Structures are given as structure tokens and as C-alpha cells.
A and B are shown apart, each in its own frame.
Chain A
Amino acid sequence: MAASQITDREPTKVAIVGESDHIVAEMAARIFADFADPQTINRAKDGAWKGPLWRALSKAGLPLAWVPEQLGGSGASLPDGFAVLGAAGRFAVAVPLAETLLAGWLLARAGLASPDGAMSVAPARPVNHITLGRDGTLSGRALGVPFASDAPHIAVIAEDATDVTVALVLAKDCGIDKGQTPAGDASNMVVFDRVKPLRRARAPAGLDCAALMLMGSVIRSVQTAGALEAILSLSVAYANERIAFERPIGKFQAVQQNLARLAGEVAAALAVSGSATDAIGQESAFDEAVFLEAASAKIRCAEAATEGAGIAHQVFGAIGFTDEHVLHRYTLRLLAWRDDFGNESYWAAELGRRVAQQGADEFWPMVASR
């Protein structure tokens, strides 16, 4: 479908807009509904819809929402940005909005201005490391960098024994492969071979690679919760419409039990991701409390993604497995997001180690601290 047709199409049939106190998020949801309706773009055989969507998002100041005005952004609050990402999850948005938000946040924390256009962030996995050489260039290898091949710029955090550096590089200066997630979104290996940054600065105290992974994990958790909300709505609506054995399949207890389980996964994801965003918004540093919240959110939301995607596909049966059906736009992204910024196994091992180090007597006080 050509880009010009996108603006002419019929209004969205199913509005997937959750309750929100955030005007910014409501504006974002309207843009998603107008330019990235999952049903419409699923029918489009090319990515022509992406340009108009990105322009609308940029015009609204959303990609750089977390960048203060003096650094070129729109200076929205952390809660507003997270609410936008929840809405993006409800539409399974497949442009580097979350990545640009995160990159802008990272650069701004180090006092660096953000460029126009999309950005990604490297590294995107906690087991990858990038270093800053004495000559001021960056070296290292980052796997699974989301949308790296679609973004003109990449924000980088480089770490060595003494210093943490935040840098902005041109994507074309890096080696970028053609990797994709199961959903077809770019997810690339990015090789930094003495890449000279456009600009760089020392990271402020408390901001390191681990903090970036935690922030990225909370972002993915929020998107996951949003996408899970959407597949619950879609699944319930389908179960009420689809007739088999002479009644809607939603009248069968076996199907009801499955949908109730899906609701449980959605509930857990919403509660734990919401709690983590609240913690990040309230705490000034990535301390123990934020670690528990962010790591738990990523673990639990990834588990919910696995369970939830499976249940939704079971409810839809064969039609949900087709290319033309919209379900895979959500489920494949839910599954892919599990791997970004540390998967559930990684964070579980980290969280388990930390709890073990602190010992049994400290455990409940930590859980009950808020």
C-alpha cells in the first residue's frame, strides 16, 4: 500500500486505547490509530506506512520525549514517556520509537544533545561490551541491537575499568548485519571497529551499562504489558464471535479457563511493569529498589509473553497462524522483546545472586520496602 493511501483509509475499527491519565499518551495513541493501525499495516506489503508514522511522531515530539528542550527534545516526564510506550505496545508499533526514547534519555543523562531522526542503543544485551580506546574511538561487538539498520544514529555506552562513556555514532560508520527478529523487525549485530563518535561525554555517576540495561528492560516490560492487553482484547472479542459446535467458543469452559489464564498474565505484566516505571520515576538512582523492580518486571513480563502469546494463538486456532491475521504482529514482537536488554534467564540469575548475597534475613525487608 502506498504511503498516500494510509491517510485516506477508513477509520480504525477496533480502538485499542487503554485508560490513561496522560494527555501525551492519548495523543500518541491517536497517532498510532491513524498511521499504524495493526490491521491496515498488516495488509500493506511494504513499509511505506513507516514514513508518515515517524513524521507524525516527530511532529508531536514523541521520539525525543525524554530529552530536555535545551538538548533538542520535548522534555516530557518519565511517566509520560512510559505511557506512550504502553500505547505503542497496544499497537505493536514497529518503528524505533522506544529505542529513540531510550537513546535520547541516555545521551541527555550525559549532557549530550540528540540528533533528529531515529536512533538505536548499543549494547542491547548485558553480556556485550563496548570500549573506548585511547585514541577516542569505540570498539566492540553488540548483538541484537534493535532497528540498528533502520536508524541513522546509535547511542553507545562504553565501559572500562575506570570510566563510563556515553557517545553518539553514525550507524554507517559501524558494521551492521542484516539480522531480524521473528517479527521481521531489524535486530542487528553491530561491530564497532575503532569508530570515531560524533560526540561523547563521561557518564554521570550511577549511569553505567547495567543501568542502561535496567532502563531498557523496563521499557520492554511496558511495551510487553501493552501488547498483552491488546491480545487479551482481541482474544476475548474473537471468542465471543467465533461459533463452533453451535455456540461462541467463549462459552466453553476450557476456552474460558484459557482466557482467564491469559488475563492473569496480562494482570501480572501490567502490575509489575507499572510498579517498575513508578520506581524509576521516584528514585534518583539505579539502586537496589530499582534493580528489584526492573529485573522482576523483565523476568515476569517475559514469562507472561511466552504464556500469553501461546494462549492467544490457541484461542484463535488456524486463522491466528496466518500471515493475513493481525495476531502475529503482537505475538512475535512479544516473543522477540524477551531477548532485548537481558532476557529473563539473565535477569533471574542476577536477581537470584543478589538475593543470595544479601541473605535470607534481608529478603523480606527488601520485598516489603514499598
Chain B
Amino acid sequence: MSSSLQFDQVRLPPECQSLRRDVRAFLAEEIANGTFDPHRPGHGDSYDRAFSKRIGARGWIGMTWPKKYGGRERSFLERYVVTEEFRVANAPVRLHFVADRQSGPILLKYAPEHIKADILPRICRGELCFVIGMSEPGSGSDLFAAKTKATKVDKGWRINGSKIWTSNAHVADYMLGLFRTSPATKDNRRHGLTQFLVDMKTPEITVNPIYQMTGEHDFNEVVFSDVFVPDDHVMGEVDSAWKQATSELAYERSGPERFLETFYVMLELIRALGAEPDIRSAEGLGRLVAQLHALRRMSVSVAGMLQAGKEPTIEAALVKDLGTIWEQKLPHRVRELTAFLAPEIGNRATLEEQLTFATTLAPKLTIQGGTTEILRGIIARGLGLR
């Protein structure tokens, strides 16, 4: 039976904890210099090119990649520590985060040497913003229904159509996108999609903003009108992108960003409750702590198993499923637990501002990067039900 789940007991090695001290010192200095305010929600989701370059200079972007491409050949657990410290501090990492987490690893695996040598070092220096081109109008979770076409022409391909919900596209340098190069076949509906590296500065690309219910601008519609992409920008095998998509997902789904997105309201809750909470608040807080601790231990365990060369695919999907539901409920729970606090508590203004933001943001957490329903389908398949 394939329903056996495995979570190795992983402890972060000493080099991780010394790295953590370096990251905290760096963040404290940036906060002192006014780069960002850790108490302001939403900043973790914003762009700061100069800040990304300073992070790159410290060697904390692409840090697991080979040195010849600008990486530092550090472990995946070390990257884990960097990621969680930046996330908890609400530091603006949006510019480089997608490139660091998933685009870089795809390039490492599939890009020709000259492209790797050109692009990867620039990612590591914090200079490049990547976007993921998957969803289209009419095909979101159903990835393989994508219609936007890449047609073979002399020395390359021509792309026509559009992508939607594309986060960061208005500031991005490159897209890694799935485009239709052949129709699906009768026995394999996943056939016919190819992954391309697309230069977002191409003039035939139009990026139209889509404003979200938080008032922020992150989503975009990206329209391709006869966009030429050279042959060497095909990533992997033509028509077979579906074979390539799965192995990276464990990295994408199990990281600390999958349960820490609303973490700031938990810190503000602890501040609001003070040193001697009543028993209702104490119990409520304790349950949140236990959930957070369990999620982090699951996530660290998956990171350790990935580092050890295992493929914890279901375990990673479970981290995202449980993690996103938890971070989505968190602001609502904090609201309940602060219901009886005196109006004069010191951090009321900050707490309310954060709760408003987190509550408005919460619905997206179980949609982005694979919806709850899709994840549970993957888990069910892993359990042997499909």
C-alpha cells in the first residue's frame, strides 16, 4: 500500500544556526536603515531592487547553485533558514524570490550552457525578476488546457495568445511559461505543451494590470502578439513539459512561505495579549503555537529529505495543504482571541491594520501555486486512490 507517509527527524545542522545569526544581523541593520518596516504587512510581498541586490551580494540568492553560475553550493537546509528569516521579518523579497525558488532550478536543469552562464549569475546578484506563465483565461488549475500557441518558424517560435494572473509581470525581466506547440493527443491530454524562456522586455508583449481586492497590484494579464522566441530558449523537450513539471513541485510546495504568509498577526497577537493572558486567550494562543510548530517540523523534515535526495512528493503537497489553510485561518483566529482585550492596549492600531490586511489577503492563500482541491487530488493519487 502506498499510503505510508514519511517524515524524517531532521535537525538543522550548526552551520544553519550561524547562518541564521548572520541573516538576522543583516535584517536588523536593514530595518534600522529604514529599508522596510517589519510591522507593516504586505511589505514581504513588495519589490525593492536595491535591497535584492544587497541580498545577492551576501550570497543568499541561488545559494544552493554551482559556484560557476554565481551560486554558493550551500545546502537546501541553509536556503531554508534564509527563506524563513526573510519571511518572518516581512522583508521585501518579491523581486527575486520566484527566480530563486523555481526559475533558477529549471534553468539549471534545462537551459543551454550559454544561457545558464548569462542569466544565473544575474539572478544570484539579485538583478532579475522572473514570472511563471501558466494560467490563461479559461485555464487555471487545469494547466493542460492551455491554448496560447508557440508556432515553429525559422530559428525559433512565434507566440500568440495570453497568460493571466501572472504575478510580477509588470516588473519582470523573464518568464518561464508553458505554451502549446502541438495539440493534445487522444490518449495523453498533457501532451503538446513546451516550456519557454521568454524575455519580458520584448516589445510585442503587453502587460495589463489587474488590481486585487487588497488594493494592491500584483496580478497581470500578459498578451503575446507575434512574440519571437529563439530555438535555444526552449527549456527541455518540445511537447513534453508535463514530464518536467513534477519534480520541482516538492520544492515549491513545502517551503516556509507556505505557512508564514500571515505570521505577523501572530506576533502582534502575542504583543496584544501581554505577559499574563486569561485562560481562553492562553489556550487559543497555545493551539496556534502547536500548529505552527508542527507545520514547521513537517516543512523542515521535507527540506531535509530533499537535501538527502529523496522525493517526498505527497509529504510536500501535505505541507502546502495544511500550511495554507492554517495561515488562512490565522487572522480570523487572532480576531477572536483579541475580542475581549481592553481598548487601550498599546499595539491596537498596528494589530487592526495587520488584521485588516491579512483578512483581505487570506482568500488567495489556498489558491495560489496549486489550489487546495488540486493538492488534495495529488495527495489522493499518492494514496493510491486515482
Contacts and interface: CB of A to CB of B under 8 A. Distances in A.
Is B truly associated with A? yes
A250 B3 contact: no
A214 B294 CA distance: 16
A325 B265 CA distance: 45
Given A268-B322, A271-B294, A363-B267, A351 B314 contact: no
A223 to B, nearest CB: 17
Contacts, number: 188
Contacts of A232: 3, 5, 383
B34 interface: no
Given A256-B377, A360-B271, A364-B88, A275 B5 contact: no
Contacts of A360: 267-268, 270-271
Interface string A303-342: 1000000000000000000000000000000000000000
A297 B297 CA distance: 11
A243 to B, nearest CB: 14
A82 to B, nearest CB: 10
Which applies to chain A's interface (DSSP): helix, strand, loop or mixed?
helix
Contacts of A368: 20, 81, 84-85, 88, 296
A296 B20 CA distance: 23
A270 B302 CA distance: 13
A347 to B, nearest CB: 7
A256 B274 contact: no
Given A236-B385, A299-B286, A274 B9 contact: yes
Interface in A237-282: 237, 239-240, 250-251, 253, 255-257, 259-261, 263-264, 266-268, 270-272, 274-275, 277-278, 282
Contact of A272 (B12, B294, B380): B294
Interface in A185-199: none
Interface residues of A, number: 58
A152 interface: no
A356 to B, nearest CB: 5
Interface residues of B, number: 61
Nearest to B314: A263
A35 B144 CA distance: 51
Interface in A56-73: none
B342 interface: no
14 contacts: A236-B1, A253-B377, A256-B385, A257-B380, A260-B375, A263-B314, A267-B319, A278-B11, A299-B286, A299-B287, A347-B286, A347-B290, A350-B282, A356-B270
Interface of A: 18-19, 229, 232-233, 236-237, 239-240, 250-251, 253, 255-257, 259-261, 263-264, 266-268, 270-272, 274-275, 277-278, 282, 292-293, 295-297, 299-300, 303, 344-345, 347-353, 355-357, 359-360, 363-364, 367-368, 370
